[in-house]
Amino acid sequence: MSKYYFEKVMKVIVIIIYSTVVLFGINHVTQAEENVESQSYDSILEAVEVDKTSDIESAKKYIALLEEDYEKLNIDQKELFALFKAHALALEGKFNDSTKQLEQLIRNSKNETLVTRTHALVANIYLFSGNYEQAYQHASDAIEGLESMDSHPWHKYAALQNLTSLFRQSGMTNTAIGYARQMLKVVSQDKHPLQLCGSYFELADLELSIKSVDMARIHSEEAMLHCSEANDPIYYTLALDLQTKLMAQANKSDKALELLKEHYPVVKSVDYKTMTNVFEIRLASTYLELKDFTNAQTIAELAYQRAEELNDKVRLMELSKILASVYSETGELKKAVEYYRQYIELEKEIDIMTNKRKMAYYMVSRRK
């Protein structure tokens, strides 16, 4: 392990080694060093747990560091490292490599709580890559294991978060809300700011999607509070996006625009394309609502290019609608018609995809 990551615990190491020599003799020094080193690996794994979606570059560095010292890890640490490594591969779009590693972890691990979490994660990755039956089979296995999960501070939260995401993407909003509420109940015990941030955001976003505006407003304010405390730029940005949607519904688009413009440099500095895309869609929509067609077009075209790179059909659909409206307002009717047709085609394609997901879910459910 590099010297940099041990600087914070060097004083502790010296004290432990010195005490061990005095009390038990020099033969036990090596064992004391190994115990301290193991505790340090646990600290690094905890850092990856927090950083894996909020500070992706930091998480990558920690993962590379653990990979160098892989043989020094104990079995629990190796399994958690494998989970995080697979998660990082999925974020890079390497879905086959990611699912292969996660399937191997499920087969080999004797830690049932970790296996349940892994089922929920790999379900999401399979869903995103279009392997619907495999996605719902793993989701079913994750659901079966939820009740028997132990009190690990992160595993049940992560499993419920992935199940919430999976059912949301499948168009099963009521089922997703059920898991979001379970998630909030679980995290209310330990009250970790990042977990509260994520839980309140997921619930508020789902409530807004079913027009439960009052509850969405209450929970989005809680999300903003906890995401700020957690210092998580990604979740904070998503919570801010949600808040500005609510502002727009309350005819406060000018105030929403101020918040969005103020936060835009932070979004660009994080360099997370999906999050940037979501934020720019909200920014372009707000400019459009305020009839600032020049800025709406500039931001929407930039976001459209990014959505094409990501092959994100949902974002492309949203941006096609924005650009169709912009070009219609500015008198460029040929472009307006072109983007509107694209919007209709993408909407149909997404509806078909959602129906396929639901069909796969019911097919898997009937096998149980």
pLDDT above 70 coverage of the chain, percent:
88
Q: Give residue 284's pLDDT.
A: 97
SS (H, E, C) 105-125: HHHHCCCHHHHHHHHHHHHHH
**What does pLDDT average to over the chain?**
86
Rounded to an integer, what distance in angstroms lies between the CA atom of residue 49 and that of residue 117?
13
pLDDT in tens, 226-256: 998 988 888 888 889 899 999 988 999 999 9
Q: Would you place residue 37 in the very low, low, confident or very high pLDDT band (cuts 50, 70, 90)?
A: low
Q: Would you place residue 34 in the very low, low, confident or very high pLDDT band (cuts 50, 70, 90)?
A: very low
Q: Which of 300, 305, 301 minimizes the C-alpha distance to 281?
A: 300
Whether the per-residue pLDDT at 204 is higher than 60: the answer is yes
Q: Give residue 1's pLDDT.
A: 45
Whether the per-residue pLDDT at 261 is higher than 50: the answer is yes
Rounded to an integer, what distance in angstroms lies between the CA atom of residue 6 and that of residue 108?
31
Q: Give residue 237's pLDDT.
A: 87
pLDDT in tens, 334-344: 999 999 999 99
pLDDT in tens, 94-115: 889 999 999 999 999 999 999 9
- The pLDDT of 12-22, averaged and rounded, is 34
- The pLDDT of 250-269, averaged and rounded, is 92
Domains of the chain: 1-110 (no CATH), 265-368 (1.25.40.10)
| The model's pTM | 0.78
Q: Are the C-beta atoms of 126 and 134 separated by less than 8 Å?
A: yes
Q: Would you place residue 5 in the very low, low, confident or very high pLDDT band (cuts 50, 70, 90)?
A: very low
- The pLDDT of 202-211, averaged and rounded, is 94
Q: Give residue 6's pLDDT.
A: 38
Q: Give residue 346's pLDDT.
A: 95
Q: Which of 45, 49, 57 minimizes the C-alpha distance to 272?
A: 57
Q: Would you place residue 32 in the very low, low, confident or very high pLDDT band (cuts 50, 70, 90)?
A: very low
